Chain A
């Protein structure tokens, strides 16, 4: 009963490097989300998906790209990392958006130096 799994759990990047964060869920949920959490800012939505093959922008999408090629996976990409992207990234999923609660992964702590 894995729920939502995020990999990696920790990563240090140099400015300008690229990387992909992987989120996988085994609950057959339609909706998936990427949030970032920063001290004093709360959780802010980066991108989300309402089904396989769909993506949409959230509040803070700049500098990130996403893909949902398979229903169970939601990938978050940083093409050219910047120090401002140092944060803790959380993935979440839900069966639909409105009627059910969200399940969160344990997070990825990313530091860009």
Chain B
């Protein structure tokens, strides 16, 4: 059974710091991994999608890496800003399940 774990559960940092959010999954047979952002009371916004054949994806200040063999992904946020405050969710799409399986998320607070 595929399980997705995100560490840490919560993170508070001062503005300007570079930070790393971690995601691990138990079954390495995945098709892709997706990082989402969720603002309080809002829906999910897709940030980055990494196919199983890729090692990383970048979008602006965000960089996500994928290591299938070790069952890990990291989301790197450079030069954090208060506007980055949100919950970040990692989800994997596994063969045979036809669905995204989510981690519980990391709640990020960036203070001025």
Binding site for B on A (CB under 8 A): 31, 33, 40-43, 45, 48, 50, 56, 58, 90, 92, 97-107, 109
Number of A-B residue pairs with CB-CB distance less than 8 Å in the complex they form: 57
Is chain B's binding surface mostly helix, strand, loop or mixed? strand
Contact string against A for B residues 31-48, beta-carbon threshold 8 Å, 1 for contact and 0 otherwise: 110101000011111100
Contact A107 B42 (CB under 8 A): yes
Q: Which of B41, B49, B99 contacts A97 (CB 8 A)?
A: B99
For A45, what are the chain B residues with a Cβ–Cβ distance below 8 Å?
99-100
Contact A33 B49 (CB under 8 A): no
Contact A102 B104 (CB under 8 A): no
Contact B102 A43 (CB under 8 A): yes
For A107, what are the chain B residues with a Cβ–Cβ distance below 8 Å?
42-43
The tally of residues in B whose CB lies under 8 Å from a CB in A reads 23
Task: List 12 A-B residue pairs with CB atoms under 8 Å apart, sorted by A's residue number.
Answer: A40-B104, A42-B89, A42-B102, A42-B105, A43-B91, A43-B102, A48-B98, A48-B99, A92-B44, A98-B93, A101-B46, A105-B43
Contact B99 A42 (CB under 8 A): no
Taken together as a complex, chains A and B put the C-alpha atoms of A90 and B45 apart, in Å, by 12
- 9 further A-B pairs in the complex, CB-CB below 8 A; given A98-B31, A102-B91: A33-B99, A40-B104, A56-B98, A92-B100, A97-B98, A99-B32, A101-B32, A104-B36, A106-B42
B81 shortest CB reach to chain A, Å: 23
Smallest Cβ-Cβ distance to A44: which chain B residue: B102
Q: Which of B41, B89, B93, B95 contacts A43 (CB 8 A)?
A: B89
State whether A102 and B100 are in contact (beta carbons under 8 Å apart), knowing that A43-B89, A97-B93 are contacts in the complex: yes
Contact B32 A90 (CB under 8 A): no
Task: Answer whether residue B51 sits at the interface, using C-beta atoms and an 8 A cutoff.
Answer: yes
Taken together as a complex, chains A and B put the C-alpha atoms of A24 and B68 apart, in Å, by 34
B48 shortest CB reach to chain A, Å: 9
Taken together as a complex, chains A and B put the C-alpha atoms of A90 and B99 apart, in Å, by 14
Smallest Cβ-Cβ distance to B35: which chain A residue: A101
